Amino acid sequence: MIVRAGSLLLLAYALGFILFTVTLGRPAKGARTTDAIVVVTGGTGRIEHGAEVLKGGGAKRMLVAGADPAVTKQDLIRRLGGSGRLVNCCVDLGSESVDTRSNAEEASRWLAKHGYRSFRLVTSDWHMRRASYDFHEVMGDKYEIVPDAVRTEPPFTILFSEYNKYILRRLAVLLDI
């Protein structure tokens, strides 16, 4: 009986991983304009994608959540190839957060401060499921969230790690720990 139950759990885990890998987050093509953009740091192309959406008029302002406290707007201008006016007027660097959940908490305070009601959540495709989950857990229905994933080619190790983080996060919320 124990072996069967263990086998069933292992099968469910493996099928869940397969489902996770084939249903990664997708870019928000043709998404409507939102009040803001929240970029979660930690992956290639995220800040650049957020800046492109901002430049294209997809939102009024952008928060880069989880930025290293040593990073300045000048660093960001250099990274984005000289978009000084855009960065100086419309981009805020948030350095209070250290993980996805605290990114959501930091973003929630920033959104409330500016009186925004909707935002585009920008992160990597492999990170979008857990980021969306954490943002919904922290914010509830207070804001409209438009997921906008940056396409990547994640290796197996990143997918496997992120799947386990997602499962553990869901269990932590379920168990209230």
100 domain-assigned: yes
- Measured CA to CA, the distance from residue 6 to residue 13 in angstroms comes to 10
* pTM of the complete model: 0.93
Residue 3 in domain: no
In sequence order, what E strands does 9-143 have? Answer: 36-40, 61-65, 91-94, 118-124
Do 124 and 149 form a contact (C-beta atoms < 8 A)? yes
Q: Is 172 part of a structural domain of the chain?
A: no
The answer to whether 126 and 150 are in contact (CB under 8 A) is no
**What is the arrangement of strands in the sheet containing 36-40, beginning at the earlier edge strand?**
91-94, 61-65, 36-40, 118-124, 144-150
Look at residue 29 in the predicted model and tell me its pLDDT.
83
Q: What is the pLDDT of residues 59-68, one digit of tens each?
A: 999 999 999 9
77 CB contacts (<8 Å, ≥6 apart)? 83, 84, 87, 88
**pLDDT recorded at residue 32:** 83
pLDDT value at residue 30: 78
79-129 pLDDT, tens per residue? 988 778 999 999 999 999 999 999 999 999 999 999 999 999 999 999 999
Q: Whole domain around residue 46: which residue ranges?
A: 25-153
For position 73, what pLDDT does the model report? 93
Q: Is residue 169 one of the residues assigned to a domain? A: no
* Mean pLDDT value across residues 122-148: 97
Check residue 94 and give its pLDDT: 95
Radius of gyration of the chain (CA): 18
What is the C-alpha separation between 132 and 144, in angstroms, rounded?
Answer: 11
Q: How many domains does the chain have?
A: 1
30 lies in some domain? yes
pLDDT tier for residue 31 given thresholds of 50, 70 and 90: confident
In a domain, residue 49? The reply is: yes
> Distance (Å, rounded) from C-alpha 150 to C-alpha 41?
12
CATH no. for residue 100? 3.40.50.620
101 falls within a domain: yes
Q: Does residue 171 form part of some domain?
A: no
Q: Residue 117 has what pLDDT? A: 97
